[in-house]
């Protein structure tokens, strides 16, 4: 079975002409047969790609040959299928949206996976703070972590309010690959937090170095996999939304007007048509009947026209 290499990367650095950068980048990736999604803004680059080892190596050489990206760090995983269907390179206002005026020269100090391990094993007091969305932390988090009850990173300032009385405490932030912590810690410093750190290269890097330690569950990713099995032996920390059995199988509710991320075991997915509630089941059934009638109607119309 052919291995698929999946890389995650970002860097905050000024890109003078994002539009031209996007065009050149898309041409290269398409010509090399890569799949994935890359966001480009004046503030930098944020992307995830999949391909063969040779294709990924060519991309790494291409990007790092450009001076400002010579030191960019790639987080890499191995899979059995591509988690992307097409190649997208898109210009954005921000490569990770927060809608805040931040000085990204003032961010939290980096802490390595080894240093975080030592903290867990010591008696030193510290707070570990998840900067990700609630549906991400629901299926996986660090031991004793404070999680953010937010649906989108733009709401992170609201999550910080829960730490208002802990501004002088040692706080370790983390996210999937590190990018959100750059802006999260910058915002926290702006708000007066005095001892803020960010886990270098995020969850994926930590779990690759220290599996079966202080990470609980699986790691949510924004591609077709939904869950990255960074620690294949980890027990689920979540339960099926219907039967409440231990489960970490994530999917979208099939009712298109809902589309929520839900934890759903295979048995219940079949029983409830992939939906999160009885109401969504009924709406989904009505939707499929309506779409079926529309398709039949179009066919009938086509036949009349042919006649």
Q: How far apart are CA 216 and CA 225, in angstroms?
A: 18
Give the residues across from 47 on adjacent strands: 9, 38
Which one of the listed residues 29, 175, 265, 276 is annotated catalytic? 175
d(CA 75, CA 205): 7
Contact 44, 95 (CB under 8 A): yes
Place of tokens 């231990």: 246
69, exposed or middle or buried, with CB in 10 Å at 0-12, 13-18, 19+?
middle
Token pair belonging to 196: 């803020």
Return the structure tokens found at 121: 């094993």
DSSP three-state, residue 207: helix
Q: What does the block give as tokens for 243?
A: 């039967």
- Cα separation, 147 vs 158, whole angstroms: 12
Distance between terminal CA atoms of the chain?
A: 51
The phi and psi torsions of 81 (rounded to 5 degrees) equal -150, 160
Q: What angle do CA 93, 98, 103 make, to 5 degrees?
A: 85
Sign (positive or negative) of CA dihedral 213, 174, 150, 167:
positive
Q: d(Cα 252, Cα 300) in Å, to the nearest integer?
A: 33
Q: Is 175 a catalytic residue?
A: yes
Distance CA 182, CA 120 (A): 22
Active site residues: 175
């Amino acid at each position: 079975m052919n291995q698929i290499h999946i890389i995650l990367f970002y860097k905050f650095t000024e890109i003078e002409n994002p539009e031209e950068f996007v065009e050149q980048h898309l041409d290269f990736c398409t010509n090399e047969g890569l799949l994935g999604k890359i966001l480009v803004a004046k503030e930098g680059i944020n992307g995830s790609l999949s391909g063969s080892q040779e294709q990924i190596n060519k991309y790494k050489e291409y990007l790092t040959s450009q001076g400002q990206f010579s030191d960019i760090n790639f987080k890499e995983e191995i899979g059995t299928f591509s988690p992307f269907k097409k190649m997208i390179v898109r210009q954005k206002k921000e490569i990770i949206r927060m809608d805040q005026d931040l000085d990204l020269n003032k961010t939290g100090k980096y802490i390595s996976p080894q240093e975080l391990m030592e903290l867990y094993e010591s008696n030193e007091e510290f707070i570990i703070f998840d900067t990700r969305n609630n549906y991400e932390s629901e299926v996986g988090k660090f031991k004793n972590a404070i999680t953010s009850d937010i649906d989108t990173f733009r709401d992170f300032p609201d999550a910080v309010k829960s730490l208002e009385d802990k501004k002088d405490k040692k706080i370790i932030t983390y996210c999937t690959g590190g990018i959100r912590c750059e802006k999260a810690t910058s915002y926290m410093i702006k708000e007066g937090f005095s001892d803020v750190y960010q886990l270098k290269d995020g969850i994926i890097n930590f779990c690759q170095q220290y599996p079966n330690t202080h990470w609980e569950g699986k790691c949510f990713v924004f591609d077709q996999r939904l869950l990255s099995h960074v620690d294949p032996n980890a027990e689920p920390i979540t339960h099926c939304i219907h039967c409440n059995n231990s489960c970490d199988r994530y999917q979208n509710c099939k009712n298109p007007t809902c589309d929520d991320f839900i934890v759903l075991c295979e048995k219940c997915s079949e029983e409830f048509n992939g939906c999160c509630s009885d109401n969504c089941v009924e709406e989904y059934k009505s939707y499929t009947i309506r779409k079926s009638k529309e398709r039949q109607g179009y066919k009938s119309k086509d036949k009349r026209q042919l006649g």
